[in-house]
Amino acid sequence: MSQRIITFSKNIFLPLTTICRNRCSYCCFRTPVQEGCLMAPEIVGRTIRQGAGLGCTEALFTFGERPELEPGFDSFLRRIGYERFIDYVYAMCRCSIECGVLPHTNAGILTYDEMARLREVNASMGIMLETTADVPAHRNSPGKQPKVRLAMIEDAGALKIPFTTGLLLGIGETKSDREESLYAIRDLHRRYRHIQEVIIQNFCPKPGTAMADSSVPTTDEICATIRLAKEILPKDIAIQIPPNLLDARTLIPCGVDDLGGVSPLTIDYVNPEHPWPAMERLREIVKNAQLKERLCIYPQFIDRGWYHPDLQPLINRLVHTLEQRKQS
């Protein structure tokens, strides 16, 4: 029997802005429009260069959804020379490519045309489905409507964008809701073959939020959901868990394939109280399995040529880099 392989990506977490139109009951990432709510271009560039120096291959651009809809945000954007936030995102992705790091953007809801534009400068993209259920936690969050999220995931398939999505457990959904969510992802993937990974993530209560005292999913619940995902989803979709939020050592035997992006430089800005495990710890977590570094675009999508031609030289170079690391 061949040795089991558990993959991960070495990344840089870049929260371009904390401004968001949604008001999720569990979120502590969103802030009011104020000084410091927008990451300056020089800080983005410096952080990416530092990450590249540490061997990072992925720049994870994450930010609040539709920040330009929040009053006052545009004035901060104009200060750095941009009229539209999508233009700023595009420019920062281009900066990442120039620094030798592949961008992966998780932007919340985007239109088809916006995704088509960002495809030029992204090796992969993503959005968490979270749940197909109508839950109170999303009552004040128009971008969290399940049909809107599913439509964007479908657009990504039509555009041939290697895509990440996932479930957020413990936000008011039931076990049957989780099953329905997995079937919805499966059906879209069967149509377009574009989902490269599905994240099974736990809700983490945050002080000061409406759900601060809510109960959290047990390890057994999470394991059952991972097993359900393995049953429902096609075999070419990796099942990912975040090793800074969950007991990965216990959950890997349930069917985990991937540990997601782990950064040697930046924190998890969405869950800052949970530090990333160091490389030595990751090796301990996977036990007897082989820990293998990957790019943010999975090999099967590289083989299919599912990326903009301008990204090919960097993808080729980073594939070679990972091969060299593996041999050393």
The predicted-structure confidence for 169-220, as pLDDT tens digits, reads as follows: 999 999 999 999 999 999 999 999 999 999 999 999 999 999 999 999 999 9
Q: Is the pLDDT of residue 2 over 90?
A: no
The predicted-structure confidence for 257-266, as pLDDT tens digits, reads as follows: 999 999 999 9
Rounded Cα gap, residues 157 and 187, in angstroms: 11
Q: Is the pLDDT of residue 326 over 90?
A: no
Average pLDDT, the chain: 96
The predicted-structure confidence for 253-306, as pLDDT tens digits, reads as follows: 999 999 999 999 999 999 999 999 999 999 999 999 999 999 999 999 999 999
The pair of structure tokens assigned to 212 is: 């601060």
**The predicted structure's pLDDT at residue 39:** 97
Rounded Cα gap, residues 152 and 244, in angstroms: 28
Average pLDDT value for residue range 152-160? 98
The predicted-structure confidence for 52-81, as pLDDT tens digits, reads as follows: 999 999 999 999 999 999 999 999 999 999
Among candidate residues 220, 221, 134, the one with its CA nearest the CA of residue 169: 221
What is the pLDDT confidence band of residue 327, given thresholds at 50, 70 and 90?
A: confident
The predicted-structure confidence for 211-250, as pLDDT tens digits, reads as follows: 999 999 999 999 999 999 999 999 999 999 999 999 999 9
**The predicted structure's pLDDT at residue 1:** 62
Taking CB atoms within 8 Å and a gap of at least 24, the contacts of 28-32 are: 28/206, 28/207, 28/208, 28/209, 29/64, 29/269, 29/270, 30/64
Q: Is the pLDDT of residue 155 over 80?
A: yes
**The predicted structure's pLDDT at residue 64:** 95
Instruction: List, as one string, the DSSP characters of 56-84.
Output: --EEEEE--SSGGGSTTHHHHHHHTT-SS
Average pLDDT value for residue range 33-45? 97
* Domain 5-327 sits in CATH 2.10.109.10: no
Q: At how many degrees (to 10) do helices 146-158 and 175-192 cross?
A: 20
Q: Is the pLDDT of residue 106 over 90?
A: yes
